[in-house]
Amino acid sequence: MNKVISFLKKIKRKIKLLKNQRMSRMSPTKYEKEISKIYKKRIGRDINWENPSTYTEKMQWEKIYDNNPMKTTLSDKYLVRNWVKEQIGEEYLIDIYGAWDTFEDIDFSTLPNSFVLKTNHGSGTIYIVKDKNKIDYKKMKEVFDDWMKMDYAFYTGFEMHYSKIERKIIAEKYIETENDDLQDYKFLCFDGKPYFCWVDVGRFSNHKRNVYDLDWNLQKWNQSEYGNSLNPIEKPKNFEEMKEIAMKLCKGFSHVRVDLYNVNGKIYFGEMTFTNGSGFDKIVPDSFDTELGKLWNLDMTKKNKYGDSNE
């Protein structure tokens, strides 16, 4: 059964890779049209490209017209570490054991028995190793070879800032947590200020999401169809410190999501996300899509499409 599942996953990856390669050859002049089709299917309405007002609309505009190189640097899970170190200090960084250009370059004999292997340019490209002696190196190589070929700008819908990331494979410390569920805290920020924090639980089983304001009041809105956790989630004792970190890291950006981990009172930086859900996850109820859009002061005067000749 395991061999069948592994084979099916391999086929699924190959299909995604072929689709990704086809999308990457598309002319930038077609980006708006393709995004509009996906948006209509996922969100259920047309995009007003000339005057986007909702949160999900504004994200579509930003994906192809806000060509800010900092978005590429800070979305790079390797390069962002230097920036985080400068902003808040390296004590908030998860230890890494190395970074390599290809899977063949990795010397596994230098790695501890447990670690996390991931790419620096993608989403969900994570391989958790709890016992190095049980690694199927052939299978792992196949997975990472496919991941490293993928241009994640075209994976979920034209998140163009991912395309320029110089691809690497990173090994970092495996953080032990209860129930193998690394609880993360995602701060949604606008104009250099965090407004909301949501917590994902059961991501690998029964994914639920609670959205809180910064006073830890459960909000009436959510993203996609996750729904709230059945059990209340306690506010971390060092939540004020987490808010301060999010405030420092989001400074200078009209919109960004700052992801942090909190493990037994120890805060770790997770990642910076500029295209939350690629703007294709519904805000439920829909009225809050408009309310979140009001918080985002999108500067449309800086229109500069990825792929333009003047880039």
Task: Give residue limits of the domains in the chain.
Answer: 2-91+178-302
d(CA 38, CA 63): 14
> Cis peptide leading into 285, omega within 30 of 0?
yes
pLDDT reading at 162 higher than 70: yes
Report the pLDDT averaged over residues 268-291. Answer: 97
Q: What are residue 15's DSSP bridge partners?
A: none
CB atoms within 10 A of CB 134: 8
| Residue 11 pLDDT level (bands cut at 50, 70, 90) | confident
Closest Cα partner for 161 from 272, 247, 85? 272
CB atoms within 10 A of CB 69: 10
pLDDT reading at 73 higher than 90: yes
pLDDT reading at 291 higher than 80: yes
d(CA 254, CA 227): 27
| pTM of this structure | 0.93
d(CA 199, CA 182): 10
Orientation of helix 137-149 relative to helix 2-24, angle to 10°: 20
Question: Do 205 and 182 contact (CB within 8 A), yes or no?
Answer: no
d(CA 272, CA 264): 22
CA atoms within 13 A on the CB side of 25: 5
| Residue 180 pLDDT level (bands cut at 50, 70, 90) | low
Buried b / exposed e along 78-112 (16+ C-beta atoms within 10 A)? bbbbebbeeebeeebbbeeebbeeebeebeeeebe
Question: Do 259 and 137 contact (CB within 8 A), yes or no?
Answer: no
pLDDT reading at 241 higher than 90: yes
Residue 310: the pLDDT is 43
Residue 10: the pLDDT is 83
Closest Cα partner for 53 from 284, 291, 252? 291
pLDDT reading at 96 higher than 50: yes
- List the strands of the sheet with 208-213, edge to edge: 208-213, 193-201, 184-190, 255-263, 266-273
d(CA 131, CA 114): 5
